[in-house]
Amino acid sequence: MKLMRVGEFGRETPAVMTPEGRVLDCSSLYPDFDPAFFRDHGVKELQRQLASAELPELDMTSRRVGAPVASPQKIVCVGLNYVTHAQESGQTPPDEPVLFMKSPGTLVGPNDTVLIPKRSTKTDWEVELAVVVGTRASYLDSPSDAPSYVAGYAISNDVSEREFQLERGGQWDKGKSCDTFNPLGPWLVTADELLDPQDLEMTLSVNGVSRQHDSTKSMIFSINYVLWYISQFMVLEPGDVINTGTPAGVSLGHDDVAYLRPGDVMELDVAGLGRQRQNVASA
């Protein structure tokens, strides 16, 4: 099942995309795909209700697609989770997952404009697999327990301002939490529909030039390990988003690869999860 949210920013309608590509309005069943939806076992309930519900089809001709998850309590990110990305960043591949937080207010739709912050000269891209938590997770016993806590998966662009992140002191968060810095979607593919999230091809291009091309199988720490690990330090709540890291190919560490500028276009693809396309503009 593919969960979507469509419409104006802040006024999105929850919807489901059928296998035939029709988009059905689910607002008569649930007000939104928010933490309450996931907390109340909304994915399983919605699957059950779809078998008999008569839902109106949405005309997507001119409708905006929003992030498929509304108002997550938190976005937890994993840094340096691909050896090649750690190396291009001048970092040693970590012995344990590197965790940082990203403001939930960064979430935008998959095709929304990404804004370069004022006084920024080093805004960068990062294609990632996002995991959405379906069940409250705390102190999981083993990584093998993790799949039962996952609601689904989506494409994430962990946009980053490298000067703010690395050269201005303190934590990484201020280089990660600028407005529009987390396009998500176009949909959330529920966990039961994705056979192997640990073997998905990922690509990102800027202005038609390929910059990132790898697979989730190249992660240092697997999806299951990451969920188990995070649960040892904080409670993961239903609807929380986890960005699992980016492969090599970002601008950071490559003097011959320019950072983002107004007018640039980013295009992202993760196998089975759809595509994103963002225009870049100044804040």
Q: What is the mean pLDDT of residues 117-134?
A: 98
CATH code for the domain of 99: 3.90.850.10
Residue-level pLDDT at 76: 98
In a domain, residue 47? The reply is: no
Which pair of tokens denotes residue 262?
């107004």
Closest CA to 72 of 186, 236, 239: 239
> For the segment 86-111, what is each residue's pLDDT rounded down to a tens digit?
999 888 999 999 999 999 999 999 99
Give the amino acid at 243. Answer: N
Query: Whole-angstrom Cα distance, residue 194 to residue 84?
Result: 26
pLDDT tens digits, 66-86: 999 999 999 999 999 999 999
Residue 131 lies in a domain: yes
User: Would you call 196 helix, strand, or coil by DSSP?
Assistant: coil
Q: Is residue 19 part of a domain?
A: no
- Helix or strand holding residue 228 (H, E): helix 223-231
pTM of the predicted model over 0.95: yes
pLDDT at position 171: 86
Judge whether 40 lies within some domain.
Answer: no
Q: Please state the three-class secondary structure of 28-92 as a single string.
A: CCCCCCCHHHHHCCHHHHHHHHHCCCCCCECCCCCCCECCCCCCCCCEEEEECCEHHHHHHCCCC
**Number of separate domains in the chain:** 1
Q: What percentage of residues in the chain have a pLDDT greater than 90?
A: 95
Helix (H, G, I), strand (E, B) or coil at 133: strand
Q: Is 51 part of any domain?
A: no
Residue 156 makes CB contacts below 8 A (sequence gap 6+) with 127, 128, 129, 130, 182, 183, 184, 241, 243
Q: Is position 223 within any domain?
A: yes
Q: pLDDT at residue 53 above 90? A: no
- Residue 58 located in a structural domain: no
Residue 220 — pLDDT band, cuts 50, 70, 90? very high
Determine the structural domain holding residue 139 and report its residue range: 75-282
**Pair type for strands 188-190 and 2-6:** antiparallel
- Is 59 a domain residue? no
